[in-house]
């Protein structure tokens, strides 16, 4: 029995490692659920209703709830206001299946003032969509511009493959989505319509930034 518990513990650890491999949120949640189930049984065998068992149950419950929410949203097609704005007006993607594919590649979060999102010279900076709030852009220690709702951050590095050309710091409480760069590139390559939509959205965001910087310089 003790040996079985140890094996289950090792399998739970492997499942957690596997959860870090896929790009789609749904697959990550599935691997995490498997890890949670194995961990619950592992601790139940080795220590009964101890702290480890309770933590494993909490981990499993949280992931199960998030997985249920993902399935509910996918089946109902219900989107948040921020997601609807992103897909309908910014990216202009109308096909529900393509919208759902993109939803799997983004993580929404709220960010406080003062948080540095990107560092100048950063390799592979995050690709971010701003739903609300503002941030300032600094280059070589000087503030050169700002950005806000409906714009992207890190899109130039995503397109060019170069390091971040500027630092970005949140100046107003921000609601934003982090997009998985690698998975997004693969998806855009396999589905040309998504690739074209992303290119248009990134180009519009860059054009707004360039225009704003020119106005500031003038």
pLDDT tens digits along 40-60 = 887 777 777 777 788 888 888
| Residue-level pLDDT at 182 | 87
Judge if 99 and 49 occupy the same domain.
no
- pTM for this predicted structure: 0.66
**Which of 49-63, 112-126, 165-179 has the lowest average pLDDT?**
49-63
Query: Which residues constitute the domain of residue 45?
Result: 2-76
* Domains held by the chain: number: 2
pLDDT tens digits along 192-208 = 889 999 999 999 888 88
Judge if 57 and 92 occupy the same domain.
no
What is the band of 71 on the pLDDT scale with cuts at 50, 70, 90?
low
Which of 76, 104, 139 terminates a domain? The answer is: 76
Judge if 11 and 108 occupy the same domain.
no
Judge if 63 and 158 occupy the same domain.
no
Judge if 117 and 142 occupy the same domain.
yes
Which of 117, 134, 137 lies closest to 171 in space, CA to CA?
Answer: 134
Judge if 86 and 181 occupy the same domain.
yes
- Mean pLDDT over 139-163 rounds to 91
Which of 76, 111, 128 terminates a domain? The answer is: 76
| Residue-level pLDDT at 218 | 63
Judge if 54 and 8 occupy the same domain.
yes
- % of the chain with per-residue pLDDT over 70: 89
What is the band of 170 on the pLDDT scale with cuts at 50, 70, 90?
very high
| Residue-level pLDDT at 72 | 66
């Amino acid at each position: 029995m003790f040996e079985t518990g140890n094996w289950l513990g090792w399998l739970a650890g492997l499942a957690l490692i596997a959860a870090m491999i896929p790009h789609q949120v749904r697959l990550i949640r599935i691997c995490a659920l498997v890890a949670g189930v194995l961990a619950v049984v592992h601790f139940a065998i080795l220590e009964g209703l101890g702290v480890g068992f309770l933590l494993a149950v909490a981990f499993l419950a949280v992931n199960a709830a998030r997985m249920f929410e993902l399935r509910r949203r996918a089946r109902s097609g219900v989107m948040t206001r921020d997601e609807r704005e992103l897909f309908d007006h910014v990216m202009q993607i109308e096909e529900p299946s393509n919208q759902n594919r993109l939803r799997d590649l983004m993580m929404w979060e709220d960010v406080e003032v003062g948080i540095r999102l990107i560092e100048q010279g950063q390799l592979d900076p995050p690709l971010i969509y701003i739903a609300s709030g503002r941030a300032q852009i600094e280059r070589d220690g000087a503030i050169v511009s700002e950005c806000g709702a409906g714009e992207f951050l890190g899109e130039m590095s995503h397109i060019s493959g170069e390091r971040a050309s500027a630092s970005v710091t949140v100046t107003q409480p921000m609601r934003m989505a982090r997009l998985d760069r690698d998975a997004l590139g693969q998806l855009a390559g396999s589905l040309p319509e998504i690739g074209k939509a992303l290119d248009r959205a990134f180009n519009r965001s860059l054009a707004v930034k360039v225009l704003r910087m020119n106005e500031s310089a003038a």
